Structure 1
Amino acid sequence: MIGKLFKALQRSRSGIADTIRSVLGKKPSAKEVENLEDVLLQSDMGYDVVQDILEVVNASSGSDLMDAVRDALIKRLPQDQGVEINKRPCAMLVMGVNGSGKTTSTAKLANLYKGMGLKVTLVAADTYRAAAVDQLKRWSERVDCRLICNEETSEPVSVIFDGLESARASKSDLTIIDTAGRLHTSKNLMKELEKMYRVIETRFSEFNIQSLITLDATMGQNSLAQAKEFQADRKLDGAVLTKLDGTAKGGIIFPLYGMLDIPVKFVGLGEGLYDMEAFHREHYVDGLLGLEERSNGK
């Protein structure tokens, strides 16, 4: 599993790992420390995490520097969340802004959980964007997964109701709902999310609700603003970090958890159906630091 993640982090790693390695085995100069600080901040790790690393660099004896940095970074991330659906049936709401990879991630999640042996139903509730419904139809055929949609209505809550009724009747383990892409600044659409929660809680109370936000890793700090607004009324259970293979800002995972208490549960590593993995903090940190052999040995 580390191989694909390691490759995806190449752009983030090229600055971080190379700069840290440049001070291995010696006492870094003030200029070298300043350069390291700049590189780390540019990766969007956040001020607190960067200061942790700088303290480690200044206190390290040299040869153990990379191990010390690794330990400091791992401590800044939550324990691996695990992706098992222990309480079933489950209704998983997938939300995010347009362009964040939301609909594609919905399909990849269905494929991942179907591969784990779960009976999965997809619900196309992004009714404001016809292309999203068509896109999910094509993905559902590739995944070979049931899809519930209703192109005669633009009311997403109605589609969710139909989808969960169908999931209930078919005894699906997991129902993954692709919600309408929305700007985090759009109050009406954000209120619509609350209506979705209420319908599930009142009419489908046996369903365990999970909420995931898709965040485009290339957006850096803007992803934090999006996540903050999306969980203004309801705590998010986790994030799917997409397009990790196309950015040097892979450090956004740290403030996402440190500032907003949102753990990354999945990472998107490419455009293919199988290019999504459960997030593992040690593999991720090893990928940032260029420690491929360490993770391969786990």
Structure 2
Amino acid sequence: MSFSKLFSALSKTRGAIRGALGRVLQKQVTESTLEELESQLIIADLGIQTVDEIISIFQKEKQENFLSSLKHHLCSVLNHRESFIEEKDLPAVILVLGVNGTGKTTTSAKLAYHYTMNGLNPILIGADTYRAAAINQLRQWSNRLNVRFIANEQTKDPSAILYDGLISAKTAQSDVVIVDTAGRLHTYKHLMDELGKMERIVKTKFPEFTLRSLLTIDAGLGQNSLQQAKKFQQYIDINGAVLTKMDGTAKGGIVFPLYTQTQIPVYFTGFGEELDNLSPFNIEEYVNSMVGN
């Protein structure tokens, strides 16, 4: 995603934040105006901790220095390693996880495109055994990308499909194995337990692969996504997240409580259906797009 597209995608979030700041900066700073600022920043889903820190900066800094100090602080909050998969991690398995409707299948295809463009040899595994359309969709994407695709519509066991896929990946000397999993809610314990089983297969049967779990998060759901992330963490280690459906979200601040409360960093942002509509998360660009100049 180019900076201009990201800037456009975060227009509602930026409008909410700048509107709140503008209204307060035009008034005398009182307890009432600070409460107004706090409520508007919370609506943008920045999270209580980050909002309190912003209020503190607002009280300490001169007006002309506030925006630069705010950006610097927000960038420092999201201080994590830059790449989801680093060279030392290869070969790697990416389990793409999330609740229904967060864009896992499309994200899996976009990841395959991303890593192909970066000179790697990815393989796609269709392990969503509950939705035949997901298998067909991923097969079509793999054909477009000319990427190896593994699925087995004769079984309902995603772990068996994963095992066969990793055998194939070893034979093909694939660098990155991208696994599209079924959408699931934490209330379905047997589905959540499946994730633990898949995790164990990679770690015990294929220790040469680095396992990385990527949570797909609908950017428009805000705090609901944060609660979903916490539930998933009870069953499997989550190494990172991708913000999907970024188009015009007013809740772009969710990246901050996601990291401060769960230590899950965002590594990708995406919108739209095209393969190139996924970009590595750039902290400075995101903050600049969210806050403005």
TM-score relative to the length of structure 2: 0.94
Partner of 1:226: 228
Measure how far apart 1:110 and its partner are: 0.7
Partner of 2:270: 268
Q: Is the 8 A contact 2:91 2:176 kept in 1?
A: yes
Distance of 1:61 and 1:202 partners within structure 2: 56
- The C-alpha deviation readout for 1:170-216, integer Å capped at 9, x for no partner, is 10011100011111221111111111111122221211111111011
Mean CA deviation greater in 111-120 or 62-71: 62-71
Please give the residue correspondences for 1:1-298 in structure 2 after superposition, counting only pairs within 5 Å. Answer: 1-24=2-25, 27-86=28-87, 87-291=89-293
Measure how far apart 1:261 and its partner are: 0.6
The one-letter code sitting in structure 2 at the alignment partner of 1:11 is K
Q: Is the 8 A contact 2:20 2:41 kept in 1?
A: no
Distance of 1:180 and 1:123 partners within structure 2: 12
Distance of 1:103 and 1:246 partners within structure 2: 21
Q: Is the 8 A contact 2:93 2:211 kept in 1?
A: yes
Distance of 2:186 and 2:104 partners within structure 1: 14
Distance of 2:208 and 2:241 partners within structure 1: 24
Q: Is the 8 A contact 1:106 1:177 kept in 2?
A: yes
Q: Classify the secondary structure of the residue corresponding to 1:245.
A: coil
Distance of 2:57 and 2:90 partners within structure 1: 44
Q: Is the 8 A contact 2:84 2:240 kept in 1?
A: no
The one-letter code sitting in structure 2 at the alignment partner of 1:39 is Q
Measure how far apart 1:108 and its partner are: 0.5
Q: Is the 8 A contact 2:24 2:37 kept in 1?
A: no
- What is the count of residue pairs matched by the alignment? 291
Unmatched runs of 5 consecutive residues or more in structure 1: 292-298
Mean CA deviation greater in 250-259 or 224-233: 224-233
Q: Is the 8 A contact 1:125 1:178 kept in 2?
A: yes
Q: Classify the secondary structure of the residue corresponding to 2:64.
A: coil
Measure how far apart 1:26 and its partner are: 7.0
TM-score relative to the length of structure 1: 0.93
Q: Classify the secondary structure of the residue corresponding to 1:194.
A: helix
Q: What do you get for the CA RMSD once the two structures are aligned?
A: 1.6
Unmatched runs of 5 consecutive residues or more in structure 2: none
The one-letter code sitting in structure 1 at the alignment partner of 2:191 is L
Q: Is the 8 A contact 1:217 1:241 kept in 2?
A: yes
Q: Is the 8 A contact 2:195 2:235 kept in 1?
A: no
Distance of 1:227 and 1:137 partners within structure 2: 28
Mean CA deviation greater in 125-134 or 84-93: 84-93
